[in-house]
């Protein structure tokens, strides 16, 4: 399995210095900091600089690319029960 990560996503992770995770949200894959959705043992792990991009096992079956438009903002998280 190979999942491409766009350069702007890599830059975001490196600049912020935090790990991120692609998880399932109300409207599809969501890219959020691990403080919002912690990684699970069966996540796919992609090293990005000194950080890690985790991709849920569920999402890893369906996506082949991580893009910046997957970033979920606080407003979106407030309206999606997946983040409660």
pLDDT surpassing 80 at residue 1: no
pLDDT at position 10 is: 98
Q: Which domains does the chain have, with CATH numbers?
A: 4-83 (2.60.300)
Q: How many CB atoms are located within 10 Å of the residue 19 CB?
A: 18
Tell me the Ramachandran region of residue 30: left when phi exceeds 0, alpha when psi lies from -120 to 50, beta otherwise: beta
User: pLDDT digit string (tens) for 21-54?
Assistant: 999 998 899 999 999 999 999 999 999 999 999 9
Bigger pLDDT: 76 vs 45:
45
Query: What is the spatial distance between Cα 43 and Cα 53, in angstroms, rounded to a whole number?
Result: 9
Q: How would residue 72 be classed by pLDDT, with cut points 50, 70 and 90?
A: confident
pLDDT surpassing 90 at residue 57: yes
Q: Which two tokens stand for residue 72?
A: 């979920």
Predicted TM-score (pTM) of the model is: 0.92
């Amino acid at each position: 399995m190979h999942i491409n990560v766009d350069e702007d996503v890599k830059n975001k992770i490196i600049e912020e210095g935090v790990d991120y995770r692609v998880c399932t949200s109300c409207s599809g894959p969501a890219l959020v900091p691990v403080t919002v959705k912690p990684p699970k043992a069966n996540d796919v792990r992609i090293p990005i600089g000194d950080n890690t991009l985790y991709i849920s096992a569920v999402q890893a079956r369906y996506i082949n690319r991580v893009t910046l438009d997957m970033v979920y903002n606080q407003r979106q998280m407030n309206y999606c029960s997946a983040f409660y």
